[in-house]
Structure 1
Amino acid sequence: MGPRSRAQLERKLAQRGCAPQVATEVLDRLQEVGLVDDVAFADHLVQSRRRTKGLAGAALLVELREKGVDPEVAHTAIGGLDPQTDRARAEALATRKLATMTGLDPQVQARRLASMLTRKGYGSGTVYAVVRDVIENAPEHQRD
C-alpha cells in the first residue's frame, strides 16, 4: 500500500468498523510522529502524476480533492509548477500522440490532440497553441 491522505485513511477505518473517536485518536498520533502527512502526500502525488501521466495543475487539483487533501494544501502542492514546463510537457505528449495518427485528416488530429490534453488538465490557451504548433511542425504537414 502506497502513501495515503488522512481522509483516505479515515474512510478506510470507517469501512472496517472503527469508531470515529478511535480513528481520530489513532490518526492524530500517526500525524504527530510523521507517518501521516498530507503535505508530503500531496507533493509526492503531484510529482508522480506529472512524471507518469503528464497531468497538469487542474487535473492534479481534482485528483487531490478526490483523495481528501485540504484545498489549501493542494494549491500549495501545485503552486510550484512552472508554466513553461507545462507547455513543454504538453508539446511532448502531443507530438508522441500525433505520431500514432499519421494519415488522418488534420482536423481529426487536432480534435483528438485537444481532447487528450484537456483531459490531462491543460488550459485551453495552452491546448490550442500546442495543437496548432505540433500539427504545423509535423513532417507530414510540411510543404516542400
Structure 2
Amino acid sequence: MAGRRARTGRGWDASPPRAGDDNTTPRPRRGRRGRSEEADPEATPAPPRDEAEVAREICLRQLAVRPRTRAELAGALAKRGISEEVSAQVLDRYDEVGIIDDAAFARAWVSSRHAGRGLARRALANELRQRGVDGDTASEALGELDEETEAETARALVDRKLRSVRGEPDAVFRRLVGMLARKGYPPGVAIRAVKDALAAQSAEAAEFADQIDADALADAEGELDRDNRVPE
C-alpha cells in the first residue's frame, strides 16, 4: 500500500524503495558473504588426481616418520587402494634413486636396536623379518654384530639390572636369564653372563654361582628351546 512502511520482523523498514522495485518481486537469497546460493553452472569439477602422484605422497609421508623397507611402503600403498602396477613403478623408482635401501635399513636397525634396547641377533632377525627384509639382507646386517659384542652387551644388561633386583640368588638367576632370553640371547650366553655377574656381586651369590654348570645348563635350555620353538 502506497505511503505506508513495510513491517519486518525487526521493526519498520524506513528505507525508500528502489527504482523498479514494487515490493512484490522476491529477491534471490544470498549467503553470509553476499554470494548467491545458486550453483555456478559454468563451474567444472577438479580433474582426478594421478594415481602415481598419490602413491608418491603416501610414501613420502611414511618416510617422514622413520625409514621404511620396501615391503612396509608396499603395504601402506595397498591399504590406500593403490594398484600393484603403480605401486611397483613408484617403489622401483625409489629403489633406483636410493630413497629405499633395505640393506642400509637393516644395518641401521641392527645397530640402533642393539645399542638402545640391547637386543641380540635372534630378536633382531625376527624384527627384520616382520618388516619385510629378506633373509640374505638380514643375515648380512646381523653379521656385523659379532659374538664378543653380543656377550659384552648381555653382561652389561645383567650388571645394570642387578642394581635394582632383589631376592635369593637362585630367584635372581632365573629372573636375569629370562630377561636375556626375551631379548634374544641364546641360553649359553645368557647363563654365563648371569653366572659371572653373580660371582662378582657378593660372597653368597658367588657361592651359588660356583654351583652352576653353565655348559650343561645351556645344553638343557637349548634342547628345551628347540622343542618349544614354533615352526616358521
Same structural fold, with TM-score higher than 0.5 when normalized by the shorter chain: yes
Deviations 1:10-62 (A, max 9, x none): 00110111111110110000000000000000011001101110111111100
* Aligned pair partner of 2:180 in 105, 110, 117: 117
Q: C-alpha separation between the residues in 2 aligned to 1:8 and 1:140?
A: 52
- Equivalent pairs, count: 142
* Aligned pair partner of 1:26 in 69, 90, 97: 90
- What's 1:41 paired with? 105
Identity %: 43
Q: C-alpha separation between the residues in 1 aligned to 2:91 and 2:80?
A: 15
- Please state which structure has a larger fraction of its residues in helix: 1
- What's 2:50 paired with? none
Q: C-alpha separation between the residues in 2 aligned to 1:4 and 1:132?
A: 39
- What's 2:196 paired with? 133
Rg bigger for which structure? 2
Where in structure 2 are the equivalents of 1:81-120 lying within 5 Å?
Answer: 81-102=145-166, 104-120=167-183
* Aligned pair partner of 1:58 in 122, 135, 143: 122
Scaled by the length of structure 2, what TM-score is found? Answer: 0.59
In the alignment, structure 1 residue 77 sits paired with structure 2 residue 145: no
Q: C-alpha separation between the residues in 2 aligned to 1:13 and 1:120?
A: 32
Deviations 1:89-111 (A, max 9, x none): 10000111111113x01111111
Moved over 6 A (4+): none
Deviations 1:92-139 (A, max 9, x none): 00111111113x011111111011101111111101111111112113
Scaled by the length of structure 1, what TM-score is found? Answer: 0.94
**Paired residue type of 2:191:** Y
Q: CA deviation at 1:142?
A: 6.1
Task: Please list every run of 5 or more consecutive structure 2 residues that lacks an aligned counterpart in the other structure.
Answer: 1-64, 207-232
Task: Please list every run of 5 or more consecutive structure 1 residues that lacks an aligned counterpart in the other structure.
Answer: none
**Paired residue type of 1:84:** E
- What's 1:17 paired with? 81
Q: CA deviation at 1:85?
A: 1.1
Q: C-alpha separation between the residues in 2 aligned to 1:135 and 1:12?
A: 47
Q: Select the structure with the greater relative contact order (CA < 8 A; seq sep ≥ 6).
A: 1
Q: CA deviation at 1:140?
A: 6.7
> Do the aligned partners of 2:154 and 2:193 also contact (CA within 8 Å) in 1?
yes
**Paired residue type of 1:126:** V
